[in-house]
Structure 1
Amino acid sequence: MLFKNTLIKIKKSFGKYMSLFIIVMVGFGFFLGLKETSPDIINSVDKYYKANNLMDFKIVSTMGLRDEDVKAIKSLKGVQNVVPSYSLDVLEKDKVIRVHAIENSVNTSKLINGRIPKTDKECVADIKKYKIGDKITLDNNSDNKLKNTVFTVVGTIKSPLYIDFDYGNTTIGDGKLSSFIFINKDNFNIDAYTEIYVTAAGTKNIPSYSQKYDDISEQINNELVKLKPEMENAAYYDIYNSAMDKINDNQNKLNTKMNISTIEKPKWYIYNRNDAVSGYNDLKNATNTITSVAAVFPLFIILIVILMTSNTMSRMIMEEREELGTLTSLGFKNSSIISTYLFYVLSSTVLGTIAGFFIFGNIIPNIVYSTFSKFILPQLTIQHDITSLLMVLIVVIALMTSVTVFSCSKALKQKPAILMRPVPPQNGQRILLEKIGFIWKHLSFNSKTTMRNIFRYKQRVIMIIVGVAGCTALLVGGFGIRDSINGVAEKQYSEIFKYNTLITLKNDTANVSGNLKDLLVKERVKNPLLIKQAAFKAKSNDQSLDTYLVVPEDESLFKKYYNLRSQLTENNIKINDNSVVITQKLAGVLKIGKGDTIKVKDADNNLYSLKVSDVTKNYMQNYIYINKNLYGKVFRKDISYNMIVTNYNQNKNTLAKHLLDDDSVVNVTFKDDILKKAADGNKSLNNVVILLVVIASMLVIIVLYNLTSINMSERKREIATLKVLGFHNNETNQYIYRETFLLTLIGIVSGLLLGIPFHQFVINAIEISTEVFFKNIHTISFVWSFLIIMLVSIIMQIVTHFKIRKIDMIESLKSVE
Structure 2
Amino acid sequence: MKPLTKNMMRSINKAKGRFIAIILIIMLGVLIFVGVKATGPSLNDSLNKTVADKNLSDVQVLSTTGFGKKDIQLAEKVAGAKAETTKFKYVMGGKSKVAIALYGYDKNAKQNQLIIRNGRLPKNDHEIVLDKNARNKYDYKIGDTFKFSKSADLKQRSYKIVGFVDSPQYIDNQSRGVTNIADGQVSLFAYIPKSQMNLSTATLLNIHFNSLKDKNTFSSSYKDAVDKKVKALKREFKSRPQQRTKEVAGSYLATLNQQQTALDQLKAVNSTAAAVQQQKLDAAKKKIMKQSKTTYTWQTRQDLTGFSAYGESSDRIAAIANVFPVFFFLIAALITFTTITRMVEEARGEIGTFKALGYSKWAIARNYIYYALSAGLIGAVLGAVIGTETLPRIVLSMYKQYIALDWVIGSTWQTLLIALIFSLLATVGAAVIVVRRELDEGPASLMLPKSPKSAKKILLERIKPLWNHLSFNRKVSYRNLFRFKSRMFMTIIGIAGGTALILTGFGIQNSITASGNLQYKNIFSYQAVVKMNEDANYSKVDKILNQDKTYQNDTKINSTTAKLKAGEKQVNDVNVYTPQSVKNFKKYVHLTANLDKNKVILTKKTAKLLNVQKGDQIHVTMTNGKKLNLKVGAITENYVGHFLYLSPQIYQDKIGTLKPNTLLLGLKKQTSAQRKHLANQLLDSKEVMGTSYTHDVFDTVSKMSSLLRPIILILILLSGILSFVVLYNLTNINVSERIRELSTIKVLGFYNNEVTMYVVRENIILTIVGIIIGYGVGNLLTAYILNQAATEQVIFPLTIHWFGYIVATLLMIIFTAIVMLVTHRKLKHIDMIGALKSNE
Cα distance in structure 2, aligned partners of 1:262 and 1:548: 32
Q: 1:381-460 alignment to 2 at 5 Å?
A: 381-460=408-487
Q: Does the CA contact (< 8 Å) of 1:83 and 1:106 recur in 2? A: no
Query: Which of 604, 612, 617 is matched with 1:592 structurally?
Result: 612
**Cα RMSD over matched residues?**
2.8
Report what 1:751 is aligned to. Answer: 774
Once the two structures are TM-superposed, the CA of residue 719 in structure 1 deviates from its matched residue by 1.7
Tell me whether 1:793 sits opposite 2:816 in the alignment.
yes
Tell me whether 1:579 sits opposite 2:599 in the alignment.
yes
Tell me whether 1:260 sits opposite 2:285 in the alignment.
yes
Q: 1:233-272 alignment to 2 at 5 Å?
A: 233-249=242-258, 255=277, 259-263=284-288, 264=290, 265-272=293-300
Query: Which of 678, 690, 700 is matched with 1:655 structurally?
Result: 678
Report what 1:569 is aligned to. Answer: none
Q: 1:62-81 alignment to 2 at 5 Å?
A: 62-76=64-78, 79-81=81-83
Tell me whether 1:155 sits opposite 2:163 in the alignment.
yes
Query: Which of 651, 664, 671 is matched with 1:645 structurally?
Result: 664
Cα deviation code 1:336-390 (max 9, x no counterpart) = 2111111111111122111111112222112322443322231432123333212
Tell me whether 1:109 sits opposite 2:134 in the alignment.
no
Larger mean CA deviation between 352-361 and 467-476 belongs to 467-476
Tell me whether 1:622 sits opposite 2:642 in the alignment.
yes
Tell me whether 1:146 sits opposite 2:154 in the alignment.
yes
**2:81 aligned partner, one-letter code:** V
Cα distance in structure 2, aligned partners of 1:527 and 1:443: 68
Report what 2:131 is aligned to. Answer: 126
Tell me whether 1:198 sits opposite 2:223 in the alignment.
no
Once the two structures are TM-superposed, the CA of residue 266 in structure 1 deviates from its matched residue by 3.1
Once the two structures are TM-superposed, the CA of residue 629 in structure 1 deviates from its matched residue by 5.4
**2:693 aligned partner, one-letter code:** F
Larger mean CA deviation between 101-110 and 26-35 belongs to 101-110
Q: Does the CA contact (< 8 Å) of 1:585 and 1:772 recur in 2? A: yes
Cα deviation code 1:607-652 (max 9, x no counterpart) = 7643322111111111122345545665x67666553322244743
TM-score normalised by the chain length of structure 1: 0.92
Report what 1:687 is aligned to. Answer: 710
Report what 2:271 is aligned to. Answer: none
Cα deviation code 1:757-792 (max 9, x no counterpart) = 223222222222222222243333222221111110
Once the two structures are TM-superposed, the CA of residue 516 in structure 1 deviates from its matched residue by 5.6
Query: Which of 747, 752, 772 is matched with 1:724 structurally?
Result: 747
Once the two structures are TM-superposed, the CA of residue 537 in structure 1 deviates from its matched residue by 4.2
The 3-state SS of whatever aligns with 2:199 is coil
Q: 1:193-232 alignment to 2 at 5 Å?
A: 193-200=202-209, 202-226=211-235, 230-232=239-241
Query: Which of 280, 290, 305 is matched with 2:307 structurally?
Result: 280
Report what 2:25 is aligned to. Answer: 23
Q: 1:252-331 alignment to 2 at 5 Å?
A: 255=277, 259-263=284-288, 264=290, 265-275=293-303, 277-331=304-358
Report what 1:665 is aligned to. Answer: 688
Change (3 A) 1:479 1:94: closer
Cα distance in structure 1, aligned partners of 2:600 and 2:34: 46
Cα distance in structure 2, aligned partners of 1:71 and 1:84: 15
Identity of aligned residues (%): 30
Query: Which of 96, 100, 103 is matched with 1:100 structurally?
Result: 103
Larger mean CA deviation between 639-648 and 483-492 belongs to 639-648
Report what 1:548 is aligned to. Answer: 574
Report what 1:481 is aligned to. Answer: 508
Cα distance in structure 2, aligned partners of 1:49 and 1:372: 17
Once the two structures are TM-superposed, the CA of residue 730 in structure 1 deviates from its matched residue by 1.6
Query: Which of 38, 41, 47 is matched with 1:39 structurally?
Result: 41
The 3-state SS of whatever aligns with 1:286 is helix
Q: Does the CA contact (< 8 Å) of 2:45 and 2:216 recur in 1? A: yes
Once the two structures are TM-superposed, the CA of residue 558 in structure 1 deviates from its matched residue by 5.5
Once the two structures are TM-superposed, the CA of residue 65 in structure 1 deviates from its matched residue by 3.6
Larger mean CA deviation between 158-167 and 177-186 belongs to 177-186
Q: Does the CA contact (< 8 Å) of 1:531 and 1:645 recur in 2? A: yes
Q: 1:361-400 alignment to 2 at 5 Å?
A: 361-400=388-427
Cα distance in structure 2, aligned partners of 1:139 and 1:688: 42
The 3-state SS of whatever aligns with 2:576 is strand
Change (3 A) 1:785 1:178: same
Once the two structures are TM-superposed, the CA of residue 303 in structure 1 deviates from its matched residue by 1.5
Q: Does the CA contact (< 8 Å) of 1:95 and 1:177 recur in 2? A: no
Change (3 A) 1:712 1:297: same
The 3-state SS of whatever aligns with 1:183 is strand
The 3-state SS of whatever aligns with 1:486 is helix
**1:504 aligned partner, one-letter code:** K
Query: Which of 826, 831, 835 is matched with 1:803 structurally?
Result: 826
Cα deviation code 1:236-294 (max 9, x no counterpart) = 3334432221224567799588711233133322222233x221111111111111111
Change (3 A) 1:172 1:289: same
Q: 1:547-566 alignment to 2 at 5 Å?
A: 547-556=573-582, 559-566=585-592
Larger mean CA deviation between 192-201 and 532-541 belongs to 532-541
Change (3 A) 1:536 1:337: farther
Q: Does the CA contact (< 8 Å) of 2:122 and 2:129 recur in 1? A: yes
Q: 1:513-524 alignment to 2 at 5 Å?
A: 513=538
Q: Does the CA contact (< 8 Å) of 1:527 and 1:646 recur in 2? A: yes
Report what 2:91 is aligned to. Answer: 89
**2:15 aligned partner, one-letter code:** S
**1:107 aligned partner, one-letter code:** N
**1:25 aligned partner, one-letter code:** M
Cα distance in structure 2, aligned partners of 1:188 and 1:82: 17
Once the two structures are TM-superposed, the CA of residue 528 in structure 1 deviates from its matched residue by 4.6
Cα deviation code 1:696-736 (max 9, x no counterpart) = 10110110011011111111112222222222222211222
Change (3 A) 1:28 1:600: farther
Q: Does the CA contact (< 8 Å) of 1:89 and 1:170 recur in 2? A: no
**1:45 aligned partner, one-letter code:** L
Cα distance in structure 1, aligned partners of 2:149 and 2:836: 99
Once the two structures are TM-superposed, the CA of residue 556 in structure 1 deviates from its matched residue by 2.5
Cα distance in structure 2, aligned partners of 1:338 and 1:226: 71
Cα distance in structure 1, aligned partners of 2:623 and 2:80: 20
**1:559 aligned partner, one-letter code:** F
Cα distance in structure 1, aligned partners of 2:544 and 2:243: 36
Change (3 A) 1:683 1:513: closer
Q: Does the CA contact (< 8 Å) of 1:716 and 1:811 recur in 2? A: no
Change (3 A) 1:305 1:540: farther
Cα distance in structure 2, aligned partners of 1:584 and 1:154: 51
Change (3 A) 1:640 1:362: farther
**1:438 aligned partner, one-letter code:** P
Cα distance in structure 2, aligned partners of 1:45 and 1:411: 55
Which consecutive residues of structure 2, in runs of 5 or more, have no partner in the other structure?
Answer: 264-273
- The alignment of Structure 1 onto Structure 2 pairs a total of residues equal to 806
Change (3 A) 1:816 1:596: farther
Cα distance in structure 1, aligned partners of 2:72 and 2:651: 36
**1:95 aligned partner, one-letter code:** K
Q: 1:464-475 alignment to 2 at 5 Å?
A: 464-475=491-502
